[in-house]
């Protein structure tokens, strides 16, 4: 299977996807995250997210309402909507903390994205905006073609991205790509997705070993790339 490099120019090419098992939305198995305190939504600390603690609390509070596992209404409460403008900064703070750890040890500070989008174009555009805005490693986009021919998929897609990419032996066998399928940092996998979730599962692994995974909107970095 030919692998497509997703440099900036290639994101404007219409691509389609194939199915490979991998990192997936954790409404199937995710740990319930509980914020230890109520955010003071009008406070300066929330408006200016500077620390890992600030960023974690903002994203926990948002996820608790935005994630369909917890939210069954038609709109978010006004006090939660007030967090939307600081979501990009909260994500950046955690990614910068992870980058600092990766700089010391390439096996640490892993960042994973799970993009649940309505179409291939929307999914790839989201991947481009996140990787560009956060200056994440760029690798190869797997699962978008077969023998150089783009695969057509109707409906939703899921894109798995990993700064410290890898596949297990069972995943290598399932992919049919042999050891060429071993992931490199910045690689991504595109596959069909028939779920109802829409957003990006942002997961960051820091040395404090606190589980951090949050569902945030697809488009939080659109303004950075307009």
pLDDT tens, 212-225? 999 999 999 987 66
DSSP annotation string for 28-92:
TTPPPP--SS---TTSHHHHS--SHHHHHHHHHHHHHHHSTTT--SSS--HHHHTTGGGHHHHHH
Task: Out of 34-48, 62-76, 105-119, 160-174, pick the least confident.
Answer: 34-48
Q: What confidence score (pLDDT) does residue 226 get?
A: 58
- Entry pTM: 0.74
Catalogue all structural domains in the chain, each as residue range(s) with its CATH number: 4-225 (3.30.360.10)
* CB contact at 8 A, 82 and 117: no
Q: What confidence score (pLDDT) does residue 20 get?
A: 32
| Helices 52-66/87-104 angle, 10° precision | 130
pLDDT at 99 over 90: yes
pLDDT-based confidence at residue 184 (cuts at 50, 70, 90)? confident
**Alpha carbons 102 and 4: distance in angstroms, whole number:** 25
Question: Average pLDDT, stretch 50-66?
Answer: 93
Q: What confidence score (pLDDT) does residue 19 get?
A: 29
């Amino acid at each position: 299977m030919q692998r497509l490099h997703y440099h900036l120019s290639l994101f404007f090419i219409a691509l389609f996807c194939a199915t490979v098992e991998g990192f997936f939305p954790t409404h199937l198995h995710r740990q319930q995250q509980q914020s230890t305190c109520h955010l003071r939504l009008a406070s300066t600390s929330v408006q200016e997210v500077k620390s890992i603690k600030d960023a974690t609390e903002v994203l926990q509070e948002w996820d608790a309402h935005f994630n369909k596992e917890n939210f069954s209404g038609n709109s978010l409460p006004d006090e939660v909507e007030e967090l939307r403008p600081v979501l990009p900064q909260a994500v950046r703070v955690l990614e910068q903390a992870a980058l600092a750890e990766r700089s010391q040890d390439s096996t640490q500070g892993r960042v994973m994205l799970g993009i649940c989008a309505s179409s291939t174009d929307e999914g790839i555009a989201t991947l481009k905006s996140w990787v560009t805005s956060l200056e994440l490693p760029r690798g190869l986009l797997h699962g978008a073609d077969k023998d150089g021919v783009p695969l057509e998929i109707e409906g939703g897609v899921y894109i798995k991205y990993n700064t410290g990419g890898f596949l297990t032996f069972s995943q290598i066998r399932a992919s049919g790509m042999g050891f060429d399928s071993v992931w490199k940092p910045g690689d991504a996998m595109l596959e069909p997705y028939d779920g109802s979730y829409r957003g990006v599962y942002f997961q960051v692994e820091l040395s404090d070993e606190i589980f951090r995974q949050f569902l945030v909107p697809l488009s939080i970095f659109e303004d950075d790339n307009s």
